[in-house]
Amino acid sequence: MLSQGLGQLLFIALVFLLTVALLIIGQLFKRRKTIRYVLWTLSLIVIIGSIIFYNKKPSDEREVELRLSGIYNLDTDNSKYDGIALKLYSNLTLTLKDNNTFFISKPTPLLKYLKGKWEYKDNGDFGYVEYSFDSLDVKNSVVSDLNIWTFGGNELKDSNNKNLIVFRRRK
């Protein structure tokens, strides 16, 4: 099976070659303008169709996104945050909406940001979620179990390397 990057490159190359071939063949029909214009129109249709096809999210990825949507609870057993009793925030939730946005249920001294955007991606080998907070230009990924979201670093008010906030999908 081809890797996703190589498959995309081959797709672009084939569309380019087909379009150029239609344009060249159209040039050969200098006296028969009808055939020339039909071939040029076909090349335009090939380009537009391939752009639409190329930019469409695969249905299996969309299905995974719909399954990921839901409510995730703060996992106080696996979260770590220096100087804060996490049991006080056991009702904190992360909600993933099916329009690829998410939000944290309430402000806390744990996380700097409360909302952002997410998108499921598949690189051909494994699936992951890429997310970013609205107020932060950095994109991050959730790679492991897709039922667990882990925040650490820039998203936390205290970005100490030992601090980690974990949300687990509600059962």
How confident is the model at residue 15, as a pLDDT?
83
How confident is the model at residue 4, as a pLDDT?
55
80 or 141: which leads in pLDDT: 80
**Pair 41, 34: CB distance under 8 Å:** no
Q: Examine the pLDDT at 35 and tell me if it is beyond 90.
A: no
- Tell me what the mean pLDDT of segment 8-21 comes to: 81
Q: Examine the pLDDT at 1 and tell me if it is beyond 50.
A: no
pTM of the model: 0.65
Number of CB atoms found within 10 A of residue 20's CB: 11
Output the six-digit token pair for 68: 């990921």
